[in-house]
């Protein structure tokens, strides 16, 4: 009896060793996309009131966990029975990321040229804060879903030849690490200024703690601006990588061009095309009819 228990424990230990090794390899393979995931989600989780940052980040984290619970079993099933569906899902997700990244770039340069807020931004500013929060949380969870698909697929590819139990445990571990690691680090970033203020308050206005506190407070706006730029570029780069790795023609296109430059260029071109097509569709729909309050305001002016 005792020997049987020890044999089971030995098998479990061997399985854990295999999973740990496979997880290490898979994490190394997904390191690049995890970095992009961090940049994108850090940019999306900032810009709120200080007392709302952590609750909103927690909402996004819960959404990310739900994403993983949906993606991991579906990816395992599709990889076994219908692998072409994974490629289609990745390409659709790449289109979404490319569109979002290109739209941000267009808005940025449009605002820079006009030196005025974009009409969409003005509309967003006029909405109540809860609506802004819900919209940004929804956008962050949607983007997380697409990036999570990419992470899970890459992790699954590294253990494709392993036993089913090792595949399941490895992909699940990578998915959990992606959520905890990324959003844990984002939480540290968005609370930098609070930590800095506490250090300043407890330093009596001088000394190492005061200098460190001022550094944290001053660094946060710079980090947020950097993350905003890096996050936008990461959206396009990830999208381009999806297209290049899953479309043979694009993979063989410009063989002498650096891979990063090619992926970014393809992602940007696809994104600009999608933004243009979406704008054309919107123009055909026409401008929305004025609401009752707007009609009343117009009649009062007349």
Name the residue among 243, 225, 229, 230 with its Cα closest to residue 96.
243
In a domain, 3, yes or no: no
Q: Which residue range is the domain that position 119 belongs to?
A: 18-288
What integer pLDDT is reported at residue 266 of this predicted model? 94
For 12, residues 6+ apart whose C-beta sits below 8 A from its C-beta are none
Report the alpha-carbon distance of residue 249 to residue 244 in Å, rounded.
Answer: 8
In a domain, 76, yes or no: yes
pLDDT of residue 273: 95
If one counts the domains in the chain, the total is 1
Q: Does residue 101 sit within a domain?
A: yes
Return the pLDDT at 126.
Answer: 43
Question: Does any domain span residue 294?
Answer: no
Residue 166 resides in a domain: yes
pLDDT lower than 50: segments of the chain: 6-11, 15, 118-128, 291-302
* pLDDT one-digit tens code per residue, 42-66: 666 666 666 777 788 888 889 889 9
Predicted TM-score (pTM) of the model is: 0.66
Strand ranges in the chain using DSSP code E only, listed in sequence order: none
Asked if residue 25 is part of any domain, the answer here is yes
């Amino acid at each position: 009896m005792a020997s049987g228990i020890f044999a089971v424990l030995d098998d479990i230990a061997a399985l854990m060793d295999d999973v740990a090794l496979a997880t290490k390899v898979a994490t190394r393979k997904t390191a690049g996309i995890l970095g992009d995931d961090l940049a994108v989600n850090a940019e999306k989780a900032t810009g709120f009131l200080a007392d709302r940052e952590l609750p909103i980040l927690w909402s996004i984290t819960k959404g990310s966990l739900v994403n993983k619970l949906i993606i991991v079993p579906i990816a395992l099933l599709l990889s076994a029975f219908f692998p072409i569906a994974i490629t289609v899902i990745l390409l659709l997700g790449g289109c979404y990321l490319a569109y979002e990244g290109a739209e941000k770039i267009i808005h940025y340069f449009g605002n820079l040229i006009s030196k005025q807020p974009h009409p969409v931004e003005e509309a967003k500013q006029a909405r109540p804060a809860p609506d802004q929060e819900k919209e940004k949380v929804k956008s962050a969870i949607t983007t997380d879903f697409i990036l999570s698909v990419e992470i899970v697929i890459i992790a699954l590819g590294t253990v494709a030849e392993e036993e089913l139990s090792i595949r399941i445990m490895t992909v699940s571990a990578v998915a959990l690490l992606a959520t905890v690691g990324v959003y844990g680090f984002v939480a540290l970033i968005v609370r930098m200024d609070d930590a800095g203020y506490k250090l300043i308050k407890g330093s009596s206005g001088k000394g190492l703690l005061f200098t460190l506190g001022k550094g944290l407070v001053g660094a946060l706006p710079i980090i947020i601006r950097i993350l905003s730029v890096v996050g936008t570029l990461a959206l396009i780069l990830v999208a381009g990588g999806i297209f290049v790795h899953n479309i043979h023609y694009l993979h063989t296109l410009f063989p002498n061009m650096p891979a990063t430059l090619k992926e970014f260029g393809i992602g940007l071109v696809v994104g600009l095309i999608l933004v243009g097509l979406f704008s054309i569709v919107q123009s055909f729909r026409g401008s929305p009819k004025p609401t009752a309050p707007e009609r009343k305001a117009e009649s009062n002016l007349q």
